[in-house]
Amino acid sequence: MSTPAREPRQERSRTTRRRLIDAAVECLGELGWSGTTVAEIAQRAGVSRGAAQHHFRTREDLVTAAVEYLGEVQVAQLRLRAEQLPPGESRIEPVVDMLLNLYTGAMFRAALHLWVAASSDDALRAVLAPLEARVGREAHRVALELLGVDEAHPGVREMVQATLDLARGLGLANLLSDDERRRARIIHQWARVLGSSLPEPGDTPKRPRKREITGLAR
Amino acid sequence: MSTPAREPRQERSRTTRRRLIDAAVECLGELGWSGTTVAEIAQRAGVSRGAAQHHFRTREDLVTAAVEYLGEVQVAQLRLRAEQLPPGESRIEPVVDMLLNLYTGAMFRAALHLWVAASSDDALRAVLAPLEARVGREAHRVALELLGVDEAHPGVREMVQATLDLARGLGLANLLSDDERRRARIIHQWARVLGSSLPEPGDTPKRPRKREITGLAR
């Protein structure tokens, strides 16, 4: 049986991939897209350029994998943290807190470098635009799930989209200075507004409760 | 009197400054910060490098002036368009429409290149961070004015801040693809939420009307 020999090789390959992705994120954040080359990433990952190109032929392939991976990590972390929350209405503030803090770290900074570069680089845009849409849809799905709402209710889809667009705007505001205190007040306020305008968690569109205060069905 | 001779020279100087600023915005949008040099901007503006440096010693000076100028133009345009709106409650949707479309054009794209570059360039960050704060405060002041609300009401400041952060998030979402249709639905929904959560225009915090539906004073 070749399994015992193959397993460590697969393991090693996964580790190399992961190190290349981590190095790509670090490199993007520090040097931007123009400084992010396969050679630079390979060096930071402690991998030969050939080995790096065995995994990822071009830097576009590499950053695509990185964005995809980061999206998955983010969603997994959200789900994990959400599992530890109490059920019911008291969830809304911690969930909004998680969502509105989603884009305040190094991952968003790296992605931002890519988005901005892609806005004037057609080849990069071609790989990034569909990927961005996919990662965005996944974030939206998780947000619905965490908030426990059904987007068949009129207005719910837009409120959840607005929450994630607001999160990205807050990420931008955090780019050049530490915006945590201001953001905390916005999070608190937004949780109140969402709490009174979203339908009750688990509510179905056929029999909306609290209709008079949702402000969504008018 | 030297006025007749001085006037055209001042006028010429203003025109040159303006052309340099326009060229800087164009250049940032196309080449990013790394490609934005005084020489490149001067060439695009049809001005000698020496003349460009007479107006702006460094590219940092030039882009600072550009961000400042763009902020002023934006505020002036907002005020002008707001003057043409009907008074009263029907203002809220067109005002929200203006605010949430603020960052969807070439100016935001140019500014984004700068912000992202500044996040890993200390010299650029040092000039940009205070300027960004000043331009942001001015946008906030105008938004309050257009919405006709007083931020002495609890929650109003945060809702107006959230509106502008959301606007920047929507600008980001519009970077790689035309996001206009989705944005229009969010704008419509956001106008409803703001309409029911902000106090009546002109209301003072001492005697809040419609307190029961503001959802802000609880």
Q: How far is A2 from chain B (nearest CA, A)?
A: 47
pLDDT confidence of residue B89? 63
Instruction: Tally the residues of chain A.
Output: 218
pLDDT at A217 over 90: no
Instruction: Count CB-CB contacts under 10 A for residue A21.
Output: 23
Of A129, A158, A164, the CB nearest to B176: A129
pLDDT at residue A124 greater than cutoff 60: yes
Give the count of beta carbons closer than 10 Å to the beta carbon of residue A82.
Answer: 17
pLDDT exceeds cutoff 90 at B121: no
> Which of chain B's residues have a Cβ under 8 Å away from the Cβ of A132?
176
More confident of the two residues B209 and B74 = B74
How far out from the chain centre does Cα A196 lie? 26
Instruction: Find the closest chain A residue to B165 by CA distance.
Output: A169
Nearest to A176 among B119, B177, B197 (CB): B119
ipTM of the complex, rounded to two decimals: 0.86
Residue linked to tokens 């020999």 = A5
Q: Do the Cβ atoms of A56 and A38 come closer than 8 Å?
A: yes
Q: What number is the average pLDDT over the span B88-117?
A: 89
Which of B32, B129, B186 faces A117 most closely, judged by CB atoms?
A: B32
User: Using a CB-CB distance cutoff of 8 angstroms, which residues of chain B are in contact with residue A149?
Assistant: none
Q: Touching check for B173 and chain A: CB below 8 Å?
A: yes
pLDDT for A212? 39
Instruction: Among A161, A185, A212, pick the best mutation site for testing chain B contact (most B Cβ within 10 A).
Output: A161
Looking at residue A199, its pLDDT comes to 83
With bands split at pLDDT 50, 70 and 90, how would you rate the model's confidence at A164?
A: very high
CA-to-CA distance for B200 and B209, rounded, in angstroms? 7
In chain A, which residue's Cα lies nearest the Cα of B196?
A215
d(CA A198, CA A89): 11
* pLDDT value of position B4: 54
Q: pLDDT by residue (tens digit) across A34-60?
A: 889 999 999 999 999 999 999 999 989
| Rounded mean pLDDT, B173-195 | 95
Q: Is B212 on the interface with A (CB under 8 A)?
A: no
pLDDT at res. A2? 47
- In chain B, positions 85-114, which contact chain A (CB-CB < 8 Å)? 109, 112-113
Domain annotation for chain B: domains and CATH numbers = 1-57 (1.10.10.60), 58-214 (1.10.357)
Question: Can you give the pLDDT at residue A35?
Answer: 87
B111-130: average pLDDT: 89
pLDDT level of residue B48 (50, 70, 90 thresholds): very high
Chain A residues whose beta carbon lies within 8 Å of the beta carbon of residue B188: 158
Which of A1-15, A23-37, A77-91 has the least mean pLDDT? A1-15
Q: For position A165, what pLDDT does the model report?
A: 97
Q: Which of B116, B186, B196 sits opposite A162 (nearest CB)?
A: B186
Place of tokens 């090693």: A12
pLDDT exceeds 60 at position B207: no
Q: Which of A73-77, B7-11, B149-153, B202-206 has the lowest mean pLDDT?
A: B202-206
B161 touches chain A (CB under 8 A): yes
Looking at the predicted structure, is the pLDDT value of residue B212 above 80? no
Q: What is the mean pLDDT of residues A20-32?
A: 89
Q: What is the pLDDT of residue A208?
A: 45
pLDDT digits (tens, 9 = 90+) for A199-212: 877 677 654 444 43
Which of A136, A161, A193 is closest, CB to CB, to B193? A193
